[in-house]
Amino acid sequence: MIQIAPQMRILVAVDSVDFRRGIDGLAALCTQAFKADPLSGTVFVFRSRSGKALRCLTYDGQGYWLAQKRLSSGRYNSWPLSDASTTSGTRVLSPHQLHTLLWNGDPARSQTAPMWRPLNGEG
C-alpha cells in the first residue's frame, strides 16, 4: 500500500505520457527526461494523453509501486501546468495537493495550513 506522507517528494509530469509504458518505461522517463532518480522514493505522477487516467510510480526500497486511477466519467481538468517552479518538465506538489489532484480537484486552489508554523509564544 502506498501511503502519502508529509515528508514525501512528489513530482508531477506536466505533459501527458503514453500509458503503454510500464514500470520500466516510466522509470526510464524519470531518469532521462526529468533528471530524477526513480529509486529515491519520490512519487512520480503521470497523466494519460486522453486525460482520463493518471499513474503514480514510486520505489519503496524493495521494488516499484505503480498505481493507476481512471475516472469513470470526465477528465482531469486541473492538471498542473508549467510555471516558474517547473523544472525538467515536472512540477513539485505537496501531499495535500496530490490528494486534491487524485480527487480531480485543482491543486493550485487547495488551501491548508502551512507545513510548519511557530507555536504560540515562539518566533
Question: Domain-by-domain residue ranges, the chain?
Answer: 10-109
For 30-70, the pLDDT digits (tens) are: 999 889 999 999 999 999 999 999 999 999 999 999 999 99
The H helix count followed by the E strand count for the chain is 2, 5
Confidence of residue 84 (pLDDT cuts 50, 70, 90): low
Q: Averaged over 93-114, what is the pLDDT?
A: 84
Q: Under a CB-based contact definition with an 8 Å cutoff, are residues 34 and 123 in contact? A: no
Please indicate whether residue 12 or residue 107 has the higher confidence score (pLDDT): 12
Residue 59 DSSP symbol: E
**CB contact set of 10 (below 8 Å; sequence gap of 6+):** 4, 42, 43, 45, 92, 93, 94, 95, 97, 98
CA-CA distance, 101 to 46, in Å (whole number)?
11
Place of cell 510548519: 116
**Mean pLDDT for the chain?**
86
- The pTM score is 0.83
